[in-house]
């Protein structure tokens, strides 16, 4: 049953063989999280996901959320698992137990998150956003704000959101029109409208805490004048009890392609001029504060996309083993030859191999990104800490943008394996594909992720982030080249990495010249090739571990380890040649897309 969500054997491989998360238990901060404890955590997460959350996926999608006169009702089937999620202290797994978390390494929490989101990520959004909003309070809030809000949020008693987007200010946040007027007592009256607010209104918690971006009267235009405010749905008294309704009004929810179980709300603040907020952090520093939550939110979105992809892959593999259709290709001319499971057909195996390679690479990338934060928490070397945070900054656009693009491709293959049945709601593939699609759009479209990678991250600290990443990849290549089976794939990776470095320098120079527009026309292809190289790195890393493990592997583990080497072989010999072609196109930097006259487009 658990296999309908994810692959426990591969999760264990990443946690214990690739990242060796049990080593964190040598540090006082994570002393209790040895391998046995980690495995117990993953077991409990899997049980909760399979037994309680997975049954909500289809019914939650069918029933959806209901809006009536400002009130939003979530699917009834959500109520019990949300209660269990709170009771198990799963809302803020890596956070301080004093505030309601479990204090576990973030890399371990990723394993639990994979199961939960693979079961039904529309449901998990209610708690996922709460954790992110709580981190804003923990990082920027006053002691009073922490005492009033934080534990209630980290325990799921109250939920949280993120109020950025407005009708005139989507990705261009600096245009926002929401206003904050000082009241002379440290509070502000907030007026404005926010749209596309995930979990913005619902019936799962008694209060919803909204971090809101707004501009204080007289503040500078653009992002420099944006502040962050804490605006609860119900005001909170000084003794922690709930006060009056805070004039935060839900005026509608969106009808969407997917994630029907999550309420995507339009919120109107201050319709009766009675919405009160308090500053969270410093005046005019709201965007800086919000970027903290953005990094976490973007990693979460990568996990959402990946979790649907791995669920789709598991479904496709199981179906392909059971679906009997057509003779074996080598016996096509034998009239009496029996029909075989479709997993024996080369084209189906090609699709499954593609899915397998991406799912494994994406899992390693997401867990590794969280592992970097754990490492930064457990070392004293400030230079090494800075390196870890720099690698996180560089990898986030790939972990969000590239991962969700490839996750959607995996879901597309998953539907294709099922054939016509995949297009019906009899099987989960069509819902997984629908739910996955939004991950390429929200928390910054993938085009914006590409611009962030090329426009900001490449040049940060004079290119140190890129050099650090290349150093990590080269270390893997050096190790893998010493191994007979993996050496050819390490050499392919090395060729691609060197070409990527050349392309990065080329785009950097072009962006600083009169070729700015042409350079940014290739920002998205550049993110794709960066992602391909990072995927190949993860797969070669995994394969080199597997080759060493095969020497002493038990019989039952041999197919798994051999499968790791095959994933690296497939990706490096099938995908990387295309990557090299894309890199050649980037180096050529053809300007047709930015040179064409607008009138030349049909419209």
**pLDDT at residue number 603:** 66
Residue 10 token pair: 């591969």
CA distance 556 to 299: 34
Q: How far is CA 88 from the centre of its chain?
A: 23
pTM: predicted TM-score of the whole model, two decimal places: 0.96
Task: Specify the DSSP class assigned to residue 235.
Answer: E
**pLDDT at residue number 542:** 98
CA distance 363 to 355: 12
The enclosing H or E element of 526 equals helix 523-550
* Residues taking part in catalysis: 443
> What DSSP line would sit under 296-345, residue for residue?
HHHHHHHHHHHHHHHHHHHHHHHHHHH-EEEE-GGGTT-TTPPEEEGGGS
CA distance 284 to 213: 10
Residue 227 token pair: 């502040």
CA distance 573 to 495: 12
**pLDDT at residue number 1:** 33
- Tell me the average confidence (pLDDT) per consecutive run of 10 residues in the chain, 603 residues long: 75 98 95 97 97 97 97 98 97 95 97 97 96 95 97 97 90 89 96 97 98 95 94 97 97 98 98 97 91 86 98 97 95 93 97 98 98 96 96 97 98 98 96 98 94 92 94 98 97 98 94 91 97 98 98 96 98 98 96 91 80
- Cα pseudo-dihedral 103, 122, 133, 287, rounded to 10: 130
**pLDDT at residue number 289:** 87
Q: Do residues 496 and 575 make contact, with C-beta atoms less than 8 angstroms apart?
A: no
**pLDDT at residue number 250:** 98
Q: Which CATH architecture has domain 159-284?
A: Beta Barrel (2.40)
Q: Counting runs of H as helices and runs of E as strands, what totals does the chain give?
A: 20, 14
**pLDDT at residue number 361:** 98
Task: Specify the DSSP class assigned to residue 584.
Answer: H
For the chain, the distance separating the N- and C-terminal CA atoms, rounded to the nearest angstrom, is: 51
Q: What are phi and psi of 513, to 5 degrees?
A: -120, -165
Looking at CATH, the fold of the domain delimited by 2-66+73-154 is given as Butyryl-Coa Dehydrogenase, subunit A; domain 1 (1.10.540)
The enclosing H or E element of 120 equals helix 106-140
Instruction: Determine whether 222 is exposed, middle or buried from the number of CB atoms within 10 Å of its CB (0-12, 13-18, 19+).
Output: middle
Task: Domain ranges for the chain, please list them.
Answer: 2-66+73-154, 159-284, 445-595
């Amino acid at each position: 049953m658990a296999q309908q969500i994810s692959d426990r054997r591969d999760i264990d491989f990443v946690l214990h063989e690739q990242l060796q998360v049990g080593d964190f238990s040598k540090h006082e901060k994570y002393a209790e999280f040895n391998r046995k404890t980690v495995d117990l955590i993953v077991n409990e997460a899997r049980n909760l996901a399979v037994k309680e959350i997975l049954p909500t996926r289809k019914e939650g999608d069918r029933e959806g959320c209901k809006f009536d006169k400002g009130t939003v009702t979530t699917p009834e089937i959500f109520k019990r698992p949300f209660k269990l999620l709170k009771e198990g202290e799963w809302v803020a797994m890596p956070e301080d137990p004093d505030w309601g978390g479990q204090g576990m390494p973030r890399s371990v929490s990723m394993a639990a998150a994979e199961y939960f989101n693979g079961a039904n990520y529309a449901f998990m959004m209610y708690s996922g956003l709460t954790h992110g909003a709580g981190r804003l309070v923990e990082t920027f809030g006053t002691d009073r704000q922490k005492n009033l809000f934080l534990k209630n949020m980290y325990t799921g008693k109250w939920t949280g959101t993120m109020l950025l987007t407005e009708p005139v200010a989507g990705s261009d946040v600096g245009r926002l029109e929401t206003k904050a007027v000082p009241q002379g007592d440290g509070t502000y009256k907030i007026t404005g409208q926010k749209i596309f607010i995930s979990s913005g209104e619902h019936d799962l918690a008694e209060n919803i805490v909204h971090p809101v971006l707004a501009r204080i009267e007289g503040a500078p235009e653009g992002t420099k004048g944006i502040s962050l405010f804490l605006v609860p749905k119900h005001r909170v008294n000084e003794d922690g009890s709930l006060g009056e309704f805070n004039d935060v009004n839900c005026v509608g929810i969106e009808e969407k392609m997917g994630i029907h179980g999550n309420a995507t709300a339009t919120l109107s603040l201050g319709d009766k001029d009675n919405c009160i907020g308090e500053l969270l952090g410093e005046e005019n520093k709201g965007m800086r504060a919000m970027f903290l939550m953005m990094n976490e939110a973007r990693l979460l979105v990568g996990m959402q996309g990946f979790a649907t992809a791995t669920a789709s892959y598991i479904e496709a593999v199981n179906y392909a083993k059971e679906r009997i259709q057509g003779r074996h290709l080598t016996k096509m001319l034998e009239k009496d030859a029996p029909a075989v499971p479709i997993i024996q057909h080369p084209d189906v195996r090609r699709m499954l191999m593609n899915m397998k390679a991406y799912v494994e690479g994406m899992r390693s990338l997401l867990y590794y990104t969280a592992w970097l934060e754990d490492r930064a928490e457990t070392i004293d070397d400030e230079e090494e800490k800075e390196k870890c945070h720099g690698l996180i900054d560089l990898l986030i656009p790939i972990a969000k943008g590239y991962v969700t693009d490839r996750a959607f491709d995996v879901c597309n293959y998953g539907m294709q394996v099922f054939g016509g049945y995949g297009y019906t709601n009899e099987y989960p593939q069509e819902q997984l594909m629908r739910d996955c699609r939004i991950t390429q759009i929200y928390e910054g479209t993938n085009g914006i992720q590409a611009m962030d990678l090329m426009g900001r991250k490449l040049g940060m600290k004079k290119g140190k982030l890129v050099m650090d990443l290349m150093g990590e990849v080269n270390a893997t290549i050096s190790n893998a080249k010493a191994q007979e089976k993996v050496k050819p794939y390490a050499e392919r990776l090395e060729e691609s990495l060197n070409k990527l470095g050349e392309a990065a320098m080329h785009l950097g120079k072009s962006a600083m010249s009169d070729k700015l527009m042409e350079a940014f026309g290739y920002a998205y292809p550049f993110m794709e090739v960066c992602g391909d190289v990072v995927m190949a790195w993860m797969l070669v890393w995994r394969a080199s571990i597997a080759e060493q493990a095969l020497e002493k592997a038990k019989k039952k583990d041999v197919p798994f380890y051999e499968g790791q080497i095959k994933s690296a072989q497939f990706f490096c010999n099938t995908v990387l040649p295309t990557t090299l072609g894309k890199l050649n196109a980037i180096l050529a930097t053809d300007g047709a897309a930015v040179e064409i006259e607008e009138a030349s487009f049909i419209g």
